[in-house]
Every structure is written in C-alpha cells, then in structure tokens.
C-alpha cells in the first residue's frame, strides 16, 4: 500500500472526507493517530443549536478511549453554522 503524504491542514481535511467515503455535513470528525499512522475515523452528528453537547462529547471520548495505542487525535468540525 502506498503511503499518504499529509503536508498541510488542507491535506488532512481532504483525508477526513476520503476515509469516510463522503463529505461530512454538520458533523464532528475524529481521526485517531498512532505515531505517524492513521487509525480509526469517527463521524458524529452535531447537536442542534441550543441542544446539549453532553452526548456528543461522551460518544467521542468513549470511542477515542478504546484505542490504547493512540498517540493523538485530530478533530474536524464541519458546519455551515458560524
């Protein structure tokens, strides 16, 4: 398998859509990193305006915490809301 070269933030944003297979909308995307390797990708719907963020945060933290080899995580926020 050919290695991906991610050199800019734009490259990473493009990778997020590619790894999901579609371009996310109104979503939080989490990409788990293990040193210089990309691990799992999670996409979660953003809560509606005024709704609690507790469920979103709990879901993301629980998912990220399952990868004991993770050395980092990159979050992407895809929204039209200012």
Compute the average pLDDT of residues 25-50.
89
* In the chain, beta strands by DSSP E: 27-34, 37-45, 72-78
Compute the average pLDDT of residues 51-61.
89
Q: Write down the mean pLDDT value for the chain.
A: 87
How confident is the model over 8-31, as pLDDT tens digits?
A: 888 888 888 888 889 999 999 999
- Give the start-to-end residue ranges of the domains of the chain: 9-78
Q: Please, where are the H alpha helices in 1-82?
A: 9-20, 54-65
Compute the average pLDDT of residues 31-36.
87
């Amino acid at each position: 398998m050919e290695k991906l070269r991610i050199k800019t933030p734009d490259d990473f944003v493009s990778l997020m859509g590619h790894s999901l297979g579609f371009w996310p909308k109104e979503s939080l995307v989490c990409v788990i990193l293990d040193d210089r390797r990309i691990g799992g990708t999670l996409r979660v719907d953003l809560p509606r305006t005024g709704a609690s963020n507790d469920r979103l945060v709990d879901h993301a933290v629980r998912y990220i915490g399952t990868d004991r080899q993770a050395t980092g995580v990159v979050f992407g926020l895809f929204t039209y809301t200012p």
